[in-house]
Amino acid sequence: MEEPLMRIGQIAAFFNVSVKAIRLYEKKGIIVPAKTDPFTGYRYYTVDQVQTLAALLELKALGFSLSEIKKIISGGVNNSELLTALVRKSLAWQDAIAAAENKIDAIDRIIGRIRESKEATKIQELTDEQRAWLLVKMVCVEDLRTQNVLNEALWL
C-alpha cells in the first residue's frame, strides 16, 4: 500500500504558513517533497515530512535560523551541540524578556510623570514648541539625566 501524500497547499493551510514559505524551505534543502507532479508542478509530502515541517516551524518560533534548523533536522548536530544551542536560545529569550520589562518600567515611569504633571493636563492647549519640550521632559527624562551627567563630566 502506498503512503498517503498531502499537497503543499494542504499542509500550508494546516500549519497556517504560506506555500511560498514551504517552497523556501525546499529551496534551502530543509524539506524536499516526496513527489512533484511533472505536469502540474504540484508538490506532495509524506506524513514524516509533515512532522519535519512541524519541527521546523517550532524551531523557527523559538528563534532558530533556517541554516541552524537545517543542521538540526538533517542530524548535523550531536546532543551536546543541540543542548548548547537550546541553552543559548533560552538565554536570548531571557534577555528579550528583561529588555521588555525595562521598557514596561520606562512606560510606567512616563505614565506617572504625565499623571503628576499639571502641564500635561493642558497638552492640547500648548503650542507645538511647548508640547515638544513637555514631551521631551516627560518621555526622555532618562536621556536628559544622562546628558546632564555627561555634560558635567566633560566640563569639569
The CATH number covering residue 33 comes to: 1.10.1660.10
Q: What is the pLDDT of residue 148?
A: 60
Q: What is the pLDDT of residue 63?
A: 95
Binned at pLDDT 50, 70 and 90, residue 8 comes out as very high
> Structural domain of residue 31, as residue ranges?
6-73
| Position 1 in a domain | no
| Contacts for 42 with CB less than 8 Å, ≥ 6 apart | 7, 8, 36
Please provide the average confidence, as pLDDT, over all residues in the chain: 86
Q: What is the pLDDT of residue 143?
A: 56
Binned at pLDDT 50, 70 and 90, residue 53 comes out as very high
Residues 126, 109 share a domain: yes
Domain boundary among 27, 53, 73: 73
CA distances, 48 to each of 6, 10, 33, 53 (Å): 11, 15, 11, 9
Half-sphere exposure of 12 (CA within 13 A, CB side): 16
Return the bridge partners of 43, or none: 36
Residue 101 has pLDDT above 70, yes or no: yes
C-alpha 5/C-alpha 45 separation (Å) is 5
Residues 83, 68 share a domain: no
Binned at pLDDT 50, 70 and 90, residue 87 comes out as very high
Binned at pLDDT 50, 70 and 90, residue 132 comes out as confident
User: Grid coordinates 515638544 are at which residue?
Assistant: 132
Q: What is the pLDDT of residue 136?
A: 77
Residues 108, 122 share a domain: yes
Report yes or no: 138 and 123 within 8 Å, Cβ to Cβ: no
| Contacts for 144 with CB less than 8 Å, ≥ 6 apart | 136, 137
Mean pLDDT of 50-54: 94
Window from 2-6, 64-68, 115-119 with minimum mean pLDDT: 115-119
